[in-house]
Structure 1
Amino acid sequence: MRQHFAFRTSVEKMREVVPFLKSRGLAVHNFLNDGTEQPFVFGWMPAVSIYFSDPDGHSLEYIAMLPDEPRPDLGVVSWDEWELLQGRMPQE
């Protein structure tokens, strides 16, 4: 049975998650599984997340709550797009 586990992290640490996982040979994907490694934001929370799998095929997720007001009208958007909509520059 495949299970899902989420690990809460800070926004600051979230910026390091993708390079950290990739440096250890782990493939990452976002909620949309669209072939990119770009974290996505759930606008109704708002929270940013990225997914990967453990050796047994379980879905693992890092998630960080954002300090912004919820925007359920946006649905799920890339973190870069969210940052622009908040009037901030996306992180490189």
Structure 2
Amino acid sequence: MMIKGLYEAHLPVSDMERWIHFYQKLGLQTAYVSEKVSFIWIEKGKSWLGLWETEHVHLPYHPSLRHIAFHVEAEEITAAKNWLKERGISVREAFGFPPERQPLVLPNHPQAHACLYFQDPDGNSLEFIAPLRLDVEEDFEMMTLEEWYGREE
């Protein structure tokens, strides 16, 4: 397959320096920095995030324009909530599930992904996503990761 993963995504930001600091708190490194556009490595040489400073960061939200999902391993998704908290970043409500009931398992039939949702300082939607199973045979409702593991026992 030609596509190996997300190489580039872009977000509008209100303050370049503040944003670079935010993404450094997530453990990401800068690739290029200027006054109006900067790039942050997600995985050096494989994927990066373009940040564009603008006064218009609060235009109407649509997830296709202002959402990024970072791949994490399934074994790390539960610990990710505390990892974010240690960095002063809060998990947000998603799909009617409050932060304390996350991570969630999304029924992207025939796949199941564990997800955890948070925002950057300008309200862009960010997500940690971990593939759980790529071959789920039955349909299921969205649930917590705890419920997902409980149903397999």
TM-score past 0.5 threshold: yes
The TM-score with structure 1 as length reference comes to: 0.80
SS across alignment from 1:74: coil
Q: Unmatched 5+ residue regions in structure 2?
A: 1-58
**Shift in CA distance, 71/40, structure 1 to aligned 2, threshold 3 Å:** farther
Asked if 1:79 corresponds to 2:142, the answer is no
Q: Which structure 2 residues correspond to residues 37-48 of structure 1 after superposition, within 5 A?
A: 37=100, 38-43=102-107, 44=109, 45-48=111-114
Write the distance in 2 (CA, Å) between the matches of 1:4 and 1:86. Answer: 31
* Larger fraction in strand: 2
Aligned length: 87
SS across alignment from 1:64: strand
Alpha carbons 2:92, 2:119 under 8 Å: kept: no
Write the distance in 1 (CA, Å) between the matches of 2:133 and 2:139. Answer: 17
Q: Unmatched 5+ residue regions in structure 1?
A: 88-92
Write the distance in 2 (CA, Å) between the matches of 1:82 and 1:5. Answer: 24
Q: Which structure 2 residues correspond to residues 1-92 of structure 1 after superposition, within 5 A?
A: 1=59, 2=61, 3-37=66-100, 38-43=102-107, 44=109, 45-67=111-133, 69-70=135-136, 73-87=139-153
**Shift in CA distance, 21/84, structure 1 to aligned 2, threshold 3 Å:** same
Structure number with the bigger relative contact order (C-alpha 8 A, sep ≥ 6) is 1
Write the distance in 2 (CA, Å) between the matches of 1:77 and 1:17. Answer: 18
The TM-score with structure 2 as length reference comes to: 0.51
User: How far off is 1:71 after superposition?
Assistant: 5.5
**Shift in CA distance, 61/71, structure 1 to aligned 2, threshold 3 Å:** farther
The Cα RMSD (Å) is 1.9
Write the distance in 2 (CA, Å) between the matches of 1:78 and 1:72. Answer: 17
Alpha carbons 1:28, 1:51 under 8 Å: kept: yes
Tell me which amino acid in the other structure corresponds to 2:142: V
